[in-house]
Copies of this chain bind each other. A is one copy, B any other.
Amino acid sequence: MASDQTRSAILAAAERLYAVRGFGDVTLRDIVAEANVNLAAVNYHFGSKDELIAELFVTRSIALNRERLAELKTAEEQGDGRASVDVILRALVGPTLHGCLGPANQRSTAARFMIRASIESVPPIRRIKNREIDHLRKFAAAMRRALPDRSDEEIYWGLHFALAMAHHTIRESERLTKLSDGRCDLDDVDGIIERVVGMAVMGLTAGKAESKAPAKVAAR
């Protein structure tokens, strides 16, 4: 309980190393060297390596989900309990994209860490991700209120595809840059968000009149 100094040094060092080198080849010995603490400190403070990784990921996940829900809640309050489709989608994919993309040289360690977590999917992280379903259900519910005429199936596919585009863009941003010879601007995060949201809105509202304002779907 006393200092907590060692504990946070380990957390910081671990996140830094995982962010840069991935989970695959970072050992406990690397971490304690980076943190300037003793090897046994990890097991003393966290119990095991997996629990260290889990704590790292849970912390960031909670923060991310909190942000998403806050955005959703604000939007629904302003809209009399009903937010528009594009606003809901922006609350879903915006925080992630803002957190993980943007100019590479100014990405936070936390962002790089979450990118790794999104790419490598090591067991302790996978276990946590599986519990995030409840979180998504809240967005499904919001979307149901925004599109009362759409079937649940359509809504789930819409949310699924929105997340697909967001996560894939994060995971494969390097490849997209290379493929397009830099013509796709991965630094313009807001542009990307509008692109993703625009596509998802089209998918969710295609063939029906929207119940709210048509939303500015054009990207850039």
Interface of A is mostly: helix
What band does the interface of chain A fall in when counting residues whose beta carbon is under 8 Å from B? 35 or more
Of the listed stretches A80-88, A98-106, A177-185, name the one at the interface; the rest are far from the partner chain. Answer: A177-185
Known contacts A121-B120, A133-B178, A179-B156; is A161 also within 8 Å of B199 by CB? yes
Chain B residues lying within 8 Å of A152, measured Cβ to Cβ, are 180, 183
Number of copies: 2
Alpha-carbon distance A52/B14, docked complex (angstroms): 31
Chain B residues lying within 8 Å of A169, measured Cβ to Cβ, are 160, 164
Q: Is the CB of A180 within 8 A of B156?
A: yes
Q: Is the CB of A133 within 8 A of B175?
A: yes
Chain B residues lying within 8 Å of A202, measured Cβ to Cβ, are 199, 202-203, 206
A35 within 8 A of B: no
Known contacts A157-B184, A160-B169, A169-B160; is A24 also within 8 Å of B123 by CB? yes
